[in-house]
Structure 1
Amino acid sequence: MKNKWLQIALSVFSLGLAVLLVVYLPQIVHSLTGKPVSWREIGALFGSLSLGQIALMTGLWLLSLLAYTFVLTNSLPGLNNLQGLALNAAGSAVSNLLPFGGAVGVAVSWGMTKGWGFTSRSFVVMTLVSGIWNTLFRFVLPAVGIIALLLAGQVPNATVAKAGWTGAISILVICVVVAVALYWERAAVWLGKGIDAVTRLLRLKFHASEAFHRLRADTADVVRTRWAGLSLGMVFFLGFQWAIMAAGMSATGAWPGLAESIAVFALSRVLTSALITPSGAGIMESGVAALLIAFGVDTAPAVATALLFGFWTYTIEIPFGGLALGAWALLRRRNGRNAGAEPPSAISKAT
């Protein structure tokens, strides 16, 4: 995507599609579930929210941002939590505005870390490690959602339950194998041989194990010493995000049960991978509302919950990230002017 006009056209199309999906969300939900709902009903539920409920969701949102800073500070030794907060907010804002915006978000993050004095090498390691942990937990979440439903007995028959257990355990085993291989060299060798065997079986003309070993070599030191902090950061980040959804469900009268809420949350995080719109905006809300309705929630509360959750995990990140990026730019400019105003002797002493 080196053509600037193509980037602009795709961005406008993607954002326009996201807006259309949200505007026509009642109609989309009606087509998916057969149950009608109007914006008047949804608006009435929004109007019934108390200041206490809004404050609770705001606090949970801030806590989720703070929790994710520990993923970044453990990925990039020397980064502090305030810098991690700015980095996360600015990168998310850019990613939320553009299709395939992750690459642009990475570029913005690189510029910020460069301005703080970090090397390109350390930034690459941070990007790889945080990306690996996000991917692993994105795989784990569906398994957790399936297991929650199985334990709650929310399956139609024994055949479906058996398939669910098989799928969930398989996903968890794969994630554990990859995590152990990143930490333990002997496990990495075994996994590399297994990957090569699969590529030979599929007659693929590349050595996937070489790419994996290069990835492990780049990230081994951070993974070996900081895996616990990375994992706890992701657990608390996702936990607070689930709490935002739970608070929204409670506020709108859409609470379907603990197991069901976990399954809905897992689906929401998977649907954010739909790249046709930035962060799956519009698609995530449709899927969340449809699944809540399938769990017996009334249509208006289900749609209202989906929109509330989309606001706290997508929409609000755009202005907040813009403020963070603007503050970083202003501070960088001011620091540059201050450095330029100092006499040469002071600058040399400081250096």
Structure 2
Amino acid sequence: MTKNDDRPGTGRTRTRRRRVVTSVLTGVLSAALVAFLPRAVGATWSQVGGVLGRVSVGSLLLLAVVWIAGLWAHSYVLAASLPGLSKRRGLTLSLTGSAVANVLPLGGAAGTALNFAMVRRWGFSSAAFAGFIAVTTLLNVGSKLGVVALALGLVPILHSASAFASAGLLLAPVPVAVGLSVWILADERVAVMVGGILDRVIRRTRLREQLPALRRSILHLMEAGWRTMSAGMIAYVALQLALLWLCFQVLHVPLALPVLFTALAVERLLTLVPITPGSAGVVEVGTTAALVALGGDPAGVTAGLLLFRGFTYLMEIPVGGVTLAAWSWLQHRTRQAALAG
């Protein structure tokens, strides 16, 4: 007798069910964390709403301009990481990939798959895309850890010695991860060794061969475009800090720049924790709690951070969705024209 588990399609059905259940659970978790946010820091939603009511239409337009400017700066990084990619297409990849990643649980992989399909349609090779993903991931993570490292240097100025020790313990893995990455990039023998270790641990991989090849690809791309990559990433981080500062300014919730920089570091670090789509809920609770611990007004800092995340997380979903729809429509028209010709 054939068991139900052996019937064709059963595995795919179960996979779909798991994805649906995971999506629902992560969505509920995100909503619960955001709903719990004011109470977690000692405020109420009515107080937070009162602060958010101070935003004018003109202020929202200004924030939107700074947000878009940050995305455009990041498109320079993407274009330099994939020679031949235009800034416009780089911005398209950024928006569409983020829209998918911000909606789906562990959506980073789905966003990467979408971007792969797009660059292949534009004529780029799989090898070029692999190098592009490696370089952009390294730069994005490196920039986040760089912000964290700078903020950690401000801790002794802003806090007590015990707070500095606690932060140092929390961020201890950061220099270890950075050091290992630099070591791999500096010496191919280390890449071979690390790849061999991972092959034995993970099994069914060829990282002993692939990691050194990926290292060479990364170094080649960075050697050609490191100036543009560095300038674009620095401009992007600076505009993110400017957007965060403006979010509190338009709400009339002034905070010192070192405090905001520390908050940006916490936010950047928490976005590396993919518990929920786009780390929604986790980032809001963690960063707001950090700002309150640094002396901020609970209602004010909650409103300011929600306004900031409204642009850096929420707005990317509809804007990226519209961008993806427009791209799909243009691709359809191109195929139709090719068939007609």
TM class by shorter chain equals: 0.7 to 0.9
State the match for 1:24 in structure 2.
Answer: 36
State the match for 2:216 in structure 1.
Answer: 217
Instruction: For 1:55-94, list aligned pairs within 5 A.
Output: 55-94=61-100
What CA distance in whole angstroms lies between the structure 2 residues aligned with 1:133 and 1:120? 20
What CA distance in whole angstroms lies between the structure 1 residues aligned with 2:303 and 2:64? 17
Instruction: For 1:87-102, list aligned pairs within 5 A.
Output: 87-102=93-108
What CA distance in whole angstroms lies between the structure 1 residues aligned with 2:28 and 2:113? 24
Deviations for 1:53-102, whole angstroms, at most 9, x for unmatched residues?
Answer: 21221111101110111111011111101111111111100000011101
Which of these residues, 42, 47, 53, is aligned with residue 53 of structure 2?
Answer: 47
Offset at residue 130 of structure 1 (A) = 0.7
AA matched with 2:286: G
Asked whether the 8 Å contact 2:184–2:191 carries over to 1, the reply is no
AA matched with 1:125: G
Asked whether the 8 Å contact 1:148–1:262 carries over to 2, the reply is no
Work out whether 1:110 is the aligned partner of 2:116: yes
Tell me, which stretches of 5 or more residues in structure 1 are unaligned? 30-34, 343-351
Report the secondary structure of 2:187's partner residue.
Answer: helix
Deviates more, 1:51-60 or 1:107-116: 51-60
Asked whether the 8 Å contact 2:191–2:215 carries over to 1, the reply is no
State the match for 1:346 in structure 2.
Answer: none
- Alpha-carbon distance change, 142 to 63 in structure 1, aligned in 2, over 3 angstroms: same
Report the secondary structure of 1:313's partner residue.
Answer: helix
Work out whether 1:6 is the aligned partner of 2:5: no
What CA distance in whole angstroms lies between the structure 2 residues aligned with 1:84 and 1:110? 12
- Alpha-carbon distance change, 173 to 20 in structure 1, aligned in 2, over 3 angstroms: closer
Deviates more, 1:126-135 or 1:209-218: 209-218
Instruction: For 1:336-351, list aligned pairs within 5 A.
Output: 336-342=335-341
AA matched with 2:67: W
Report the secondary structure of 1:98's partner residue.
Answer: coil
Offset at residue 172 of structure 1 (A) = 5.8
Give RMSD over aligned pairs: 3.0
Give me the TM-score of the superposition, normalised by structure 1. Answer: 0.83
Work out whether 1:267 is the aligned partner of 2:273: no
Deviations for 1:226-259, whole angstroms, at most 9, x for unmatched residues?
Answer: 1222222221112111111111122223333111
Asked whether the 8 Å contact 1:18–1:277 carries over to 2, the reply is yes
State the match for 1:348 in structure 2.
Answer: none
Offset at residue 23 of structure 1 (A) = 2.1
State the match for 1:229 in structure 2.
Answer: 228
Offset at residue 210 of structure 1 (A) = 6.0
Asked whether the 8 Å contact 1:255–1:261 carries over to 2, the reply is no
- Alpha-carbon distance change, 164 to 10 in structure 1, aligned in 2, over 3 angstroms: closer
- Alpha-carbon distance change, 54 to 193 in structure 1, aligned in 2, over 3 angstroms: same
What CA distance in whole angstroms lies between the structure 1 residues aligned with 2:25 and 2:173? 38
What CA distance in whole angstroms lies between the structure 2 residues aligned with 1:135 and 1:216? 16
Work out whether 1:304 is the aligned partner of 2:303: yes
What CA distance in whole angstroms lies between the structure 2 residues aligned with 1:133 and 1:327? 28
Offset at residue 216 of structure 1 (A) = 0.4
Offset at residue 205 of structure 1 (A) = 9.4
Give me the TM-score of the superposition, normalised by structure 2. Answer: 0.85
State the match for 1:175 in structure 2.
Answer: 178
Deviations for 1:108-156, whole angstroms, at most 9, x for unmatched residues?
Answer: 1111111111122211111111111112222222111111333xx2121
- Alpha-carbon distance change, 163 to 94 in structure 1, aligned in 2, over 3 angstroms: closer
Offset at residue 189 of structure 1 (A) = 4.1
Q: How many residues are treated as equivalent by the alignment?
A: 326
- Alpha-carbon distance change, 176 to 243 in structure 1, aligned in 2, over 3 angstroms: farther
AA matched with 1:77: P
What CA distance in whole angstroms lies between the structure 2 residues aligned with 1:254 and 1:193? 52
Deviates more, 1:291-300 or 1:206-215: 206-215
State the match for 1:349 in structure 2.
Answer: none
